[in-house]
Amino acid sequence: MSKEIISLYRAGGIRLVILMFVLVLMFFVSVTAADSGNVSVYKGAFSGEWSGEVNGMAVNGIFSVSISADGNVSGAFSGFVSGTISGTVNASGEIKAQGSAGLGEWVGNLSVSGGRLSGNGEWKGYGGGGTWSSK
């Protein structure tokens, strides 16, 4: 091969390597962006009811929570026991929160439909557990 052809071949190979590197980099950036998601779609407030059983006794009450644009959850519950709720929601709408007053862990899923925030899930703690859902 002549030196000119080899030179063009090398230049094309380098361009191909650079192009492949850029495409792979763009792929990883888009996957990372999709994974981080946008928790601000869950910004808002909702209330609902919780119920269950603690040490063989039926318990129930109400709750209300607010979610900030960065996914922080804060709120309160009352009924058999009263306390606060704090935690986070991720871009998939999965909520994980801690409750005071013995209702230790609140987990579940949120959704937004027609601009209305709602959710449901489970709680556990204080020797029992149950469910919660928005009204």
In degrees, to the nearest 5, what angle opens at C-alpha 99 toward C-alphas 96 and 103?
110
Q: Amino acid identity, residue 64?
A: S
> Given a cut of 90, is residue 3 above it in pLDDT?
no
Tell me the average pLDDT across 70-93: 93
Cα 120 to Cα 5, 35, 47, 55, 112, distances in angstroms: 67, 23, 11, 23, 12
What DSSP designation does 60 have? E
Q: Where are the domains of the chain?
A: 1-36, 39-134
pLDDT range class, residue 60, cuts 50, 70, 90? very high
Report the topology of domain 39-134.
Lipocalin (2.40.128)
**Distance (Å, whole) CA 76 – CA 120:** 16
pLDDT range class, residue 104, cuts 50, 70, 90? confident
pLDDT range class, residue 126, cuts 50, 70, 90? confident
* In the block, residue with structure tokens 């859902």: 133
**Distance (Å, whole) CA 132 – CA 121:** 5
Cβ atoms 42, 71 nearer than 8 A: yes
* pTM (two decimals): 0.70
How much is the mean pLDDT over the chain? Answer: 81
> Given a cut of 50, is residue 35 above it in pLDDT?
no
Cα 82 to Cα 50, 88, 102, 128, distances in angstroms: 12, 20, 9, 16
